[in-house]
Amino acid sequence: MNSNHRHRPRKRFGQNFLHDPTLISRMVKAINPGPDDTLVEIGPGEGALTLPLLRAAGRLAAVELDRDLVAPLQSRARAAGELTVHQADALRFDFRQLAPAPPARLRVVGNLPYNISTPLIFHLLESADVIQDMHFTLQKEVVDRLAAPPGSKIYGRLSVMVQYRCAVTSLFRLPPAPSARPPRWTPPSSGWCPTKSPPWTWATNRPSPDWSPRPSPSGARPCATPSRGCSPRRRSAPPA
């Protein structure tokens, strides 16, 4: 895509494109892609992260909602590697269809749109068993909630659901982006790895029948909370 004809970020898609090569390089280093990886990028945009990932891994699948970005991205990626773009809504996309044969699993990355980050995380958790790890840039408040310890003021549904399936790490903070929406939000880069076994188990071996991983309209918390901080070690949790 010609620098004089850049795609104008669309507010309805929550688009905020990456441009700083130093920051992009730092993100790629944190992801550390390899030729045997099955990479999936959510919201590749203009390809700032896509292209260096392609050069390192050789192939990548991307899920992009904005159809106006698909053809330019495919054109720019031809010399970098094998790129497959799925023009689709990531909130409804079946990520399992991209999963490689076991024991290999997906590696999911992305500069997530701020307006759908939380529901998208819940959607991805439904496929956690076929995902090796996830690396995202997110709003600071979202990362704080993802990694919040039990008993803290911001510990809630998102904390419980993600920590039940993943070990979360806040990797580094990106500087404020003056043109971002909302103004000057500071997105940390975070990485989280689904654990082979949940960090704690239900005392009854299964959740309450009315329990759901989806947020409820009332915003109520899930039926179970761990008694101690989540870690890859197995814990026990009381039933609802």
Annotated binding site for S-adenosyl-L-methionine: 16, 18, 43, 64, 89, 111
CB atoms within 10 A of CB 219: 8
Q: Which positions make up the binding site?
A: 16, 18, 43, 64, 89, 111
How far is it, in rounded angstroms, from Cα 147 to Cα 168?
A: 6
How far is it, in rounded angstroms, from Cα 84 to Cα 92?
A: 18
In angstroms, what CA-CA distances link 186 with 49, 112, 180?
18, 13, 9
